[in-house]
Chain A
């Protein structure tokens, strides 16, 4: 449950009904760990991304400088977000686009549904957009009778399967080719094949019709350029280009934090994002879209709507420590390197944002009660900070969130744990107590030891350890004793 700096809980989403039904991270991770095929798929995908990224970065001079530059730019933009949003919107509108300021998910969905209704649009195509999943746009439009088709191949597969994405960049990584083959045979009425080329060709054929028939295209935005009112979209498949050029109406949904100040700033972000995400030096396509077309005979949509979303971001912005989480450019590098993500898989995070960045923003934006444990689901190894292209200090921000959760006694912290912490602090400030308790524990442990180690335990936290590992015995004499009795000299 998101907590502001004063420790007050706040629901972050309009969809209050599902808050308490999201299973805990630990429970979801446990079930993921019991699926070897899933673990293998996650491991394969993440290790490919990691080594591709490593190789490309090693061959990129100036990469570290670019990271620092990007960090500085994002820090500056967010510090001045009101001015840059005004500038961006003014430029978009000068070029014939329309800007809608969406306070939250339901507001954004209502606006987009209204645009569709006003224009008689019933068929919608969508390119990959995390924000549109965050606001649950598909459900909102489908409940109003519109047909919505995801066009990114991975998103299309999971849409057909009725599942949720398991990875930011590879949403269908948990599905084998034979599973995709069966899915396509069932949903598209084609003969079964597990040949990947043929499956991709089938998707291309089917989706072509959708692209040509759709009246409305919805896309995300990787970067919004304030200086020119340009929205920038990176992709490899071409479905975003089709989504944003074939239908009559283009709706671009953008998180308010996605701005960069000037067109020239795009250089540093284009240097960082493809390399950090997939190890490419450049994605196949980068679209820079500024406004709507000026003549009807021209190519492209007649209307451009840019929906700028708050949905709790202003709350993150207000927290000077957590504001850094808004620097994120959604590259996925932190997911790929995170050993916790590799074990638990994407579905365990319970929301659209996964991995280390997901652990940071889900508790603060999603409204899920169980999310308060996410900041603790990390060993703080720091690998994510090493690879983050905008140098978000994820471990430090996780620690900050932990202190907020502890102060509010939310799970996994509790009043009981707070009392234990107070006790630990007392003991550690009084050496005589420290030594006394150690001596007592040393004696008691003999009951639990077997061959010099603890193999099972019924003591709550110890039993969690001994399930899978032996726990060492306390030494017969502490170092302090040995020092006094022998070494001091």
Chain B
């Protein structure tokens, strides 16, 4: 059968199934988004939600505090290689240069030139992935990353994922985020809420089965940017 033929046969069955039904009515209205109390501390709410699922949240006040925290992570986990996404925020914070002094190997400078097949294999050897995000949803402790920043795999392959965002990126709930995500440029958007988990063996929770075992979210103020 031709493609058109296949398509028509498929739809014939569906239309026949629906024939004789009552009048078609419009889609139910979308419930209005909840208004947020102005004084609400979205950062605290985000942190509580993320920590409840095994992620870690920290707020820093300056670039040097950020660097101190990352240095601590690097030592604690014995991190030797890092990959950075293209998030402008990371560049604005001077992270690529700073990190290349702290660890043996930093990936981003090479990633654009590498063919995808080689990129993914190098990335699989990296200890830490650092990305930005589009939004951080306070309601559920979720960060929203989009493929526009080449962070799809950096937030997934290394065993440790650090995501950095500014206070201004904090949003109350998912409904608000979705209304902003309609642009066609993104082929993949991922909502990340904490580390990877599984309960498949004897209903016992293990972290890091496929995705990162640990996930850190760091909130920096806009004022930290030079």
**A contacting B, Cβ–Cβ less than 8 Å:** yes
Which residues from 26 to 53 on chain B have a C-beta closer than 8 Å to any C-beta of chain A? Answer: 26-28, 30-31, 49, 53
Say if the beta carbon of B16 comes within 8 Å of chain A: yes
Say if the beta carbon of A284 comes within 8 Å of chain B: yes
A300–B178 contact, CB under 8 A?
no
Say if the beta carbon of A266 comes within 8 Å of chain B: yes
Q: How far is the CA of A86 from the CA of B8 in the complex (A)?
A: 11
Say if the beta carbon of B211 comes within 8 Å of chain A: yes
B112–A289 contact, CB under 8 A?
no
Q: How far is the CA of A289 from the CA of B174 in the complex (A)?
A: 17
A154/B200 contact (C-beta < 8 A), A85-B14, A103-B6, A237-B211 known: yes
Q: Write out, one digit per residue, whether chain B residues 161-179 have a CB within 8 A of any chain A CB (1) or not (0).
A: 0000000000000110011
A237/B198 contact (C-beta < 8 A), A151-B210, A212-B120 known: yes
Question: Considering only CB atoms, which chain B residue lies closest to A236 in the complex?
Answer: B197
B116–A45 contact, CB under 8 A?
no
Say if the beta carbon of A482 comes within 8 Å of chain B: no
CB of B200, distance to nearest CB on chain A (Å): 4
Question: Considering only CB atoms, which chain B residue lies closest to A318 in the complex?
Answer: B17
Say if the beta carbon of B98 comes within 8 Å of chain A: no
B188–A289 contact, CB under 8 A?
yes
Q: List 10 A-B contacts (CB under 8 A).
A: A72-B28, A80-B18, A82-B15, A101-B6, A196-B206, A264-B178, A282-B193, A291-B187, A294-B187, A308-B10
A79–B18 contact, CB under 8 A?
yes
Say if the beta carbon of B196 comes within 8 Å of chain A: yes
B27–A299 contact, CB under 8 A?
no
A267–B174 contact, CB under 8 A?
yes
Say if the beta carbon of A81 comes within 8 Å of chain B: yes
Say if the beta carbon of A19 comes within 8 Å of chain B: no
Say if the beta carbon of A270 comes within 8 Å of chain B: yes
Chain A hits for B141, CB < 8 A? 282
Question: Considering only CB atoms, which chain B residue lies closest to A291 in the complex?
Answer: B187
Q: Which of B116, B200, B204, B212 has most A Cβ within 10 Å? A: B200
A310/B156 contact (C-beta < 8 A), A281-B140, A289-B187 known: no
Say if the beta carbon of B150 comes within 8 Å of chain A: yes
Q: How far is the CA of A10 from the CA of B5 in the complex (A)?
A: 24
Q: How far is the CA of A41 from the CA of B31 in the complex (A)?
A: 41
A267–B178 contact, CB under 8 A?
yes
Select one of B124, B150, B187 contacting A290, CB under 8 A.
B187
A284–B192 contact, CB under 8 A?
yes
Select one of A80, A264, A291 contacting B30, CB under 8 A.
A264
Select one of A72, A242, A314 contacting B14, CB under 8 A.
A314
A263–B182 contact, CB under 8 A?
yes
Which residues from 225 to 253 on chain A have a C-beta closer than 8 Å to any C-beta of chain B? Answer: 228, 236-239, 241-242, 245-246
Chain A hits for B224, CB < 8 A? none
Chain A hits for B129, CB < 8 A? none
A239–B174 contact, CB under 8 A?
no
B203–A44 contact, CB under 8 A?
yes
B210–A238 contact, CB under 8 A?
yes
Q: Write out, one digit per residue, whether chain B residues 70-110 have a CB within 8 A of any chain A CB (1) or not (0).
A: 00000000000000000000000000000000000000000
Select one of B121, B178, B190, B209 contacting A204, CB under 8 A.
B209
Q: How far is the CA of A335 from the CA of B30 in the complex (A)?
A: 30
CB of A124, distance to nearest CB on chain B (Å): 17
A267–B175 contact, CB under 8 A?
yes
B10–A310 contact, CB under 8 A?
yes
B18–A82 contact, CB under 8 A?
yes
| Surface stretch bound by B, among A168-176, A350-358, A387-395, A429-437 | A168-176
A76–B28 contact, CB under 8 A?
yes
Say if the beta carbon of A118 comes within 8 Å of chain B: no
Q: Which of A238, A278, A296 has most B Cβ within 10 Å? A: A238
Q: How far is the CA of A251 from the CA of B176 in the complex (A)?
A: 30
CB of A342, distance to nearest CB on chain B (Å): 14
A81/B14 contact (C-beta < 8 A), A153-B198, A287-B188, A299-B116 known: yes
Q: How far is the CA of A171 from the CA of B21 in the complex (A)?
A: 38
Say if the beta carbon of A69 comes within 8 Å of chain B: yes
Say if the beta carbon of B11 comes within 8 Å of chain A: yes
Say if the beta carbon of A130 comes within 8 Å of chain B: no
Select one of B30, B147, B212 contacting A298, CB under 8 A.
B147
Question: Considering only CB atoms, which chain B residue lies closest to A97 in the complex?
Answer: B187
Chain A hits for B18, CB < 8 A? 79-82, 317-318
Q: How far is the CA of A89 from the CA of B58 in the complex (A)?
A: 43
Say if the beta carbon of A297 comes within 8 Å of chain B: yes
Chain A hits for B9, CB < 8 A? 101, 103
Select one of A176, A237, A318 contacting B196, CB under 8 A.
A237
A297/B11 contact (C-beta < 8 A), A237-B196, A283-B193, A284-B192 known: no
Say if the beta carbon of B225 comes within 8 Å of chain A: no
B17–A177 contact, CB under 8 A?
no
A45–B201 contact, CB under 8 A?
no
B31–A238 contact, CB under 8 A?
no
Say if the beta carbon of A208 comes within 8 Å of chain B: yes
A265/B202 contact (C-beta < 8 A), A153-B209, A293-B187, A298-B150 known: no
A318–B150 contact, CB under 8 A?
no
A300–B211 contact, CB under 8 A?
no
